[in-house]
Chain A
Amino acid sequence: MSQWLEIFVHWTAGFGLNYNFLLDAYQRGTLVQGALTTVLLCLFTIGGSLLAGVGLAAMLTSGKPWLAKPARVFVEVTRNTPTLVQLYCAFLVLNMLLTQAVGAANPLTPFAWVVIVISLHKGAFHAEALRAGIEAVPAVTMEAASSLAFSSRQLLWNVQLPLALRFALPSLINNLIDLVKMTAVASAIAVGDITYASIMIWTQSDNVLELMILILSFFGLLSFIVNCVGRYLEARLRMPGYGH
Chain B
Amino acid sequence: MAIESSVTAPVAWPRRHLGKLLLFTCAALWLLWFAPHSPVLKALVQWSPALAVGFGQNILISLVAISLGSVLGLLVGALALSPLRLLRLPARIWVQVFRNAPWLVLIYFTTYVFPFEIHIGSAYVSFPDWLKVTIGLALPASANFAEIFRGAIGSIPSTQWEAARSLAFTRGQIFRSIILPQCFKRMLPPWMNLYAVITMGTALASLVGVHDVIDTAQIASNTVNMTSFTVVIYLSLMMLFFAYCYPISLITQRLERRYAFY
Q: Which of B105, B237, B246 contacts A85 (CB 8 A)?
A: B237
Point out the residues of chain B lying under 8 angstroms from A208, CB to CB: 108-109, 112-113
- Bound form: Cα–Cα A202–B208 in Å: 14
Q: Which of B103, B206, B242 contacts A181 (CB 8 A)?
A: B103
Q: Name the residue in A80, A177, A188, A202 with the highest tally of chain B Cβ atoms < 10 Å from its Cβ.
A: A80
Say yes or no for A209: interface residue by CB 8 A criterion.
yes
Q: A182-B102, A219-B100 are in contact. Are A82 and B227 (CB under 8 A)?
A: no
- Bound form: Cα–Cα A89–B249 in Å: 22
Shortest Cβ distance from A242 into chain B, in angstroms? 22
Asked whether, in the complex, the Cβ of B101 is within 8 Å of the Cβ of A181, the reply is yes
Within 8 A of B (CB), among A148-206: 177, 181-185, 187-188, 195, 199, 202
Q: Which of B202, B207, B242 contacts A80 (CB 8 A)?
A: B242
Point out the residues of chain A lying under 8 angstroms from B200, CB to CB: 80-83
Name the residue on A nearest B103 (C-beta): A181
Within 8 A of B (CB), among A42-69: none
Contact surface of A with B, Cβ cutoff 8 Å: 76-77, 79-86, 88-89, 92-93, 96-97, 100, 177, 181-185, 187-188, 195, 199, 202, 208-209, 212, 215-216, 219-220, 223
Within 8 A of A (CB), among B209-262: 214, 221, 227, 230-231, 234-235, 237-238, 241-242, 245-246, 249
Contact surface of B with A, Cβ cutoff 8 Å: 97, 100-105, 108-109, 112-113, 196, 200-204, 206-207, 214, 221, 227, 230-231, 234-235, 237-238, 241-242, 245-246, 249
Closest 9 CB pairs of A and B: A82-B203, A181-B102, A82-B200, A184-B102, A80-B245, A208-B112, A184-B104, A84-B203, A80-B246
- Bound form: Cα–Cα A86–B203 in Å: 11
Point out the residues of chain B lying under 8 angstroms from A82, CB to CB: 200-204, 241
Point out the residues of chain B lying under 8 angstroms from A187, CB to CB: 104, 207
Shortest Cβ distance from B196 into chain A, in angstroms? 7
Asked whether, in the complex, the Cβ of B113 is within 8 Å of the Cβ of A209, the reply is yes
Asked whether, in the complex, the Cβ of A195 is within 8 Å of the Cβ of B105, the reply is yes
